[in-house]
Amino acid sequence: MDRFVIIEIGSTNTKGYVYDKGEVKSLGFRTIEFKNHYKKENKIAEDDKELLFSFVNEIKEDNTYVFGTSIFRNLSSEQKDEWLKEFKDRTGIDFRIVTPDMENEYTVYGAIADINYKGKIAVMIGGGGSTELSIVENKKIIEKANSSFGAMDTTDMFPDIKTDKASTDYDLMVEETKKLVNIPKNKADILILAGGDYIYFYEELNYPVTKNKFYDNPLQPYSLDTKTMDRLDRNFFYEVSLDEVCERTQNEGWWRGARGMRLCVKALVDILGVKDIIPTRITMVYGIVEKIKNKELK
């Protein structure tokens, strides 16, 4: 198959991609806070459904594959059956719910497929409602440590981080976030940030990143030492006006959760003992593409 569309639906962000003759291109994304609203209503909110159906119907083609993560795994059997039927009725497409292991496998594939590094690499797949972690050595996963928390959970713990400037002590928040992590046995040299648009974070804030000093990969062009990361993140919490960033980018939903995600990143950096991070735009789409091309997904 030369061309098909893939849509990833997470707890907070929904992303569309098209695979066309060997190249993966973005079709944009929508911030839809499924988990936040589910916690309030104990069901998928009707407004969220409509936003999703609109986005899917806008970008779908004859060959379209849709994958849901995190919050959709937590639906009751009855809710799941109702949701799968409703989604099919409204879009004409089957909705696939991926397990944490599947999400890990698909994303790690994209993160390690074309790199040459001899040490241990950690791949973090950060989301609004879950955090998947894999430790990789010699292009093989040697350990997985998945945790059922994400950016929305940390923003719930510390609501002030969604306001213009945070007030809660940074180190206290990091330590509390660490308590949510399923601690891996292995350490790692570097941490690849995947599952979200981490490059967008640095670009919009005009924060410095340097050329990836570990390996050449077009999907992973940058790296940043964790001391600099920590300094920039503290600045983001207490010096940067979140209101201004939301207004300037017209992407309020994404940015209101960004400080929560930074706490998740910092917690894993400390636990793993990494010295450098590699921000990326890599998601599970690259692994899914391979599965579809190899006819392992129909």
| Residue reference for tokens 């497929």 | 113
Angstrom distances, CA of residue 157 to CA of 54, 145, 161, 176, 226: 32, 22, 9, 9, 24
37, two tokens: 């609203």
Q: Label residue 182 exposed, middle or buried (CB < 10 Å: 0-12, 13-18, 19+).
A: middle
DSSP 239: T
pLDDT tens-digit map of 121-177: 999 998 887 898 999 998 889 999 988 888 889 999 999 999 999 999 999 999 999
The pLDDT of residue 110 is 84
Q: How much is the average pLDDT of 193-208? A: 93
- What pLDDT digit, counting tens, does each position of 30-60 carry? 989 888 888 888 889 999 999 999 999 999 9
Q: Who contacts 167 (Cβ-Cβ below 8 Å, separation ≥6)?
A: 160
Residue among 60, 61, 43 at smallest CA distance from 52: 60
pTM recorded for the entire structure: 0.82
Is residue 117 exposed (0-12), middle (13-18) or buried (19+ Cβ within 10 Å)? middle
The pLDDT assigned to 297 comes to 79
pLDDT at position 31: 87
List domains and CATH numbers for the chain: 3-98 (3.30.420.40), 116-279 (3.30.420.150)
Question: How many helical (H) and strand (E) elements, i.e. helices and strands, does the chain have?
Answer: 12, 12
Mean pLDDT to the nearest integer, 207-212: 95
pLDDT digits (tens, 9 = 90+) for 215-252: 998 889 999 999 999 999 999 999 999 999 999 999 99
Predicted pLDDT of residue 253 = 86
CA 251, distance to chain mean position in Å, is 16
Structure confidence at residue 88 (pLDDT)? 97
Helix H or strand E segment including 263:
helix 258-272
Q: Encode pLDDT of 265-289 as tens digits.
A: 999 999 999 999 999 988 889 889 9
Helix axes 77-91 and 46-59, enclosed angle (nearest 10): 40
Average pLDDT over every residue of 95-114: 87
